[in-house]
Amino acid sequence: MDVSPRPAILGPEESGNVWELLVPAFSGLADLDEYQNINNFDAHGTTGDTPRLIDAAHPYLELCRRAACRRDRTWRGPPQPGGVQAARAVRALSSKGLMLWRDGHDAEAAEWMVAALTVGYDGAALSGDWNLLITTEEWVLADLRDLLSEQTLTAAQLELLARRLELLRSVRLPFVHRIRQDWVVNAMTVLEDDIYISEEGSGSPSGRLSSLIGWKDFYSLRFAKSRLLTGLRSCERDLERVPWEDAPAASKEAERVIDTYRGRCVHPVLPYLPDFVAQERELLALDILAVAVDCARYQALHDRLPRTWRNRESRGPSSPAWRWGEGLLTLIGPGSRYNLGPDQVPREWRIGRRSGRK
């Protein structure tokens, strides 16, 4: 749980506690969800009854928007809202933004999408639910991608959007929470089960932990588990110290840390490598969004996309390579040491202007 204060993401800033607004908002949205299916609030594709639901949900969505104007996230619980409740609110908020964008109300749409991302981040900060974080983040980024493809936002409005997104990124649940979460799950597995260990390389031992114990463990499964837990805990603490400001460099350092635990029966139990890949992919997606917003701002000022990287007026990610042309921002470099494919990170962001404002 990380309920430290954060900046007010939307304005005007108001006093009060975030959860005083979000808890009744979550409850109201749940009451509207007759079939307890958050996809009923999804405005993509065939919308069905979604427009009516979003319209009925407006008072609760407005509470969520106001929560993004507050700083205090102190939790005075219980009971604590679940991930489904937060996810439902994020889906409804982002869908409201998407529907407004379709009607040509781009500035309002952007604000509701930012509110959606704020609720997702606040919910993840309270619960420590990493799946809630990445799932809701993917939803909102997909809707922002649609918005940037055709909009009439002014340069000032795009600058405000960029500033709000940067604020949100600064309060995104740190990756160390994911590492700690994995440690807890792994430790419980070791304690409760006779885990199967498969070492890499020919001649390396494989089998249930109980079949691998020897004189180093005094032929005791209890001692073997203690030794394994000590190694896992040591690795987890080493990984906590890896800074993630530069994702590719961090994942390389994290792999180096894990490699130091080879040959101890610890290495094959470590769950972290897929998480490094996921974290780098998630941060790359946020980098792409930042670049796309900056390019849209440049286009609003100059009626064209920048021709070179130096045309951009704010800093951006250093690892990906980009190409501009025909209203399309294309990622042409890997942008990741894992060479993430288009099914993992969108490679193209269309940036365009509407012909007129509604």
Mark whether 28 and 86 lie in a shared domain: yes
Mark whether 74 and 161 lie in a shared domain: yes
Mark whether 33 and 166 lie in a shared domain: yes
Report yes or no on 72 lying in a domain: yes
Mark whether 28 and 55 lie in a shared domain: yes
Q: Which two tokens stand for residue 20?
A: 């005083």
Mark whether 193 and 160 lie in a shared domain: no
Which residue, of 255, 271, 287, is where some domain finishes? 271
Mark whether 247 and 146 lie in a shared domain: no
Mark whether 261 and 312 lie in a shared domain: no
In this structure, the number of other CB atoms found within 10 A of the CB of residue 207 comes to 12
Q: Tokens 């990170």 — which residue?
A: 345
Report yes or no on 51 lying in a domain: yes
Mark whether 229 and 115 lie in a shared domain: no
Which whole-number Å values give the CA distances from 232 to 59, 85, 207, 278, 355, in the listed order?
Answer: 48, 33, 18, 21, 58
Instruction: Supply the range of the domain harboring residue 225.
Output: 178-271
Which residue, of 139, 173, 207, is where some domain finishes? 173
In this structure, the number of other CB atoms found within 10 A of the CB of residue 267 comes to 17
**Distance (Å, whole) CA 206 – CA 190:** 16
Report yes or no on 3 lying in a domain: no
Burial of 198 (0-12, 13-18, 19+ CB in 10 A): exposed
**Distance (Å, whole) CA 254 – CA 71:** 33
Report yes or no on 41 lying in a domain: yes
Mark whether 187 and 215 lie in a shared domain: yes
- Cβ atoms of 303 and 285 within 8 Å: the answer is no
Q: What is the pLDDT of residue 163?
A: 97
Q: pLDDT in tens for each of the 358 residues of the chain?
A: 667 899 999 999 999 999 999 999 999 999 998 888 898 999 986 557 899 999 999 999 999 999 999 999 999 877 788 889 999 999 999 999 999 999 999 999 999 999 999 999 999 999 888 899 999 999 999 999 999 999 999 999 999 999 999 999 999 998 888 888 888 888 999 999 888 887 665 456 678 888 888 877 788 999 989 988 998 899 999 999 998 877 778 888 888 998 888 766 787 778 777 888 788 888 888 888 888 898 899 989 998 877 665 444 444 444 455 555 555 666 544 444 444 454 555 666 788 888 754 4
Q: What is the pLDDT of residue 325?
A: 57
Report yes or no on 25 lying in a domain: yes
Report yes or no on 266 lying in a domain: yes
Mark whether 183 and 260 lie in a shared domain: yes
Which whole-number Å values give the CA distances from 219 to 153, 223, 353, in the listed order?
Answer: 69, 8, 71
Find the length of the chain.
358
Report yes or no on 6 lying in a domain: no
Q: What is the DSSP secondary structure assignment for residue 318, as one 8-state letter? A: S
Which residue, of 173, 195, 221, is where some domain finishes? 173
Q: Which two tokens stand for residue 320?
A: 């990906």
Number of domains in the chain: 3
**Distance (Å, whole) CA 340 – CA 284:** 10
Q: What is the pLDDT of residue 312?
A: 43
Mark whether 134 and 202 lie in a shared domain: no
As a 3-state breakdown, the chain gives helix, strand, coil percent values, each rounded to 5, of 60, 5, 35
Report yes or no on 277 lying in a domain: no
Going by C-alpha positions, the residue among 93, 135, 97, 146 that lies closest to residue 118 is 93
Mark whether 184 and 168 lie in a shared domain: no
